[in-house]
Amino acid sequence: MYLVDYHTHSSYFSPDAASTMEEMCEAAIAKGVRELAFTEHCDVNGWNGIPCDFDEELYITALDRVKEEYGDRLTVVYGLELGQPTQNSGLAKRYLSSPGLDFIIGSLHNLRGMEDFYLLEYPDMDTCRALMERYFAELREMIGYGGFDVLGHISYPLRYIRGRAGIEFDFSEYTAELSDIFRLLAASGLGIELNTSGLRQPVGQTMPAPDIVRLYRECGGEIITLGSDAHTAGDVGAGISEGIAVLKDAGFKYFTVYKGRKASFVKI
């Protein structure tokens, strides 16, 4: 099985990560991962009140260093997780045009004017529904803005609504909204990621869940990447084999990899 991990973070550039780039590479090689994408956090709306100061030139230099050291044993992919691009579109444009990047995830961790979903309280179902309506609206805005390659962990809010607050909330009542988003992505030449971090967290499922992956396929979705969202070396590659099985069950014959912002497809 050809294993890849297209969503990882290192302690060099992501403040919530705990392992170095070298440690992540060593772990990938040990686990049989063939391609490892570093997708460091670049939240253009800032991080915990601190303005974004991500240094893309320093980042590329660091990636060049690990590629030189590990490139004969591992394909090192130069990625970025661009957070909340429409909340600071001018700065986002700068990072989206950065030379040397292979792959960009577009993610929405917080709604405009609000804190990250992991910091919010979820007292009842009505609160969750109101947040979700805003979430889908901002996702559509992001797709219209474009520039990234795949939409990251589309069910991100459920990590905290279900996994932490214990509210039995899912996407089953939002089939129309999700179908609209998936068709917009397909029409724009964009895709989604299957984020496997939920398999090792209380939410207990991939993001998105298998039924939503199937819906994406039914709506014409073809581009889909696989990522562990590892913030430690121990989580590199975690759940990727299970994720490939989810894709296969949903009708996918390929998953997507990137080089120089160009997609190619690996047979499952």
Predicted local confidence at residue 173, as pLDDT: 87
Predicted local confidence at residue 137, as pLDDT: 98
- Strand-strand pairing, 262-267 and 254-259: antiparallel
pLDDT in tens, the chain (268 residues): 999 999 999 999 998 999 999 999 999 999 999 999 999 999 999 876 677 889 999 999 999 999 999 999 999 999 999 999 999 999 999 999 998 999 999 999 999 999 999 999 999 999 999 999 999 999 999 999 999 999 999 999 999 999 889 898 889 889 999 999 999 999 999 999 999 999 999 999 999 999 999 999 999 999 999 999 999 999 999 999 999 999 999 999 999 999 999 999 999 9
Distance CA 94, CA 12 (A): 21
Predicted local confidence at residue 85, as pLDDT: 98
CATH of the domain at 33: 3.20.20.140
DSSP of 91-122, one letter per residue? HHHHHHT-TT--EEEEE--B-TTS-BGGG---
Q: 26: domain range?
A: 3-267
Predicted local confidence at residue 164, as pLDDT: 87
Distance CA 147, CA 159 (A): 26
Q: What's the structural domain count of the chain?
A: 1
Q: Please name the residues in contact with 129: beta carbons below 8 A apart, sequence gap of 6 or more.
A: none
Residue among 92, 129, 134 at smallest CA distance from 113: 134
Distance CA 143, CA 141 (A): 5
Q: Residue 172: what residue type?
A: S
Predicted local confidence at residue 51, as pLDDT: 75
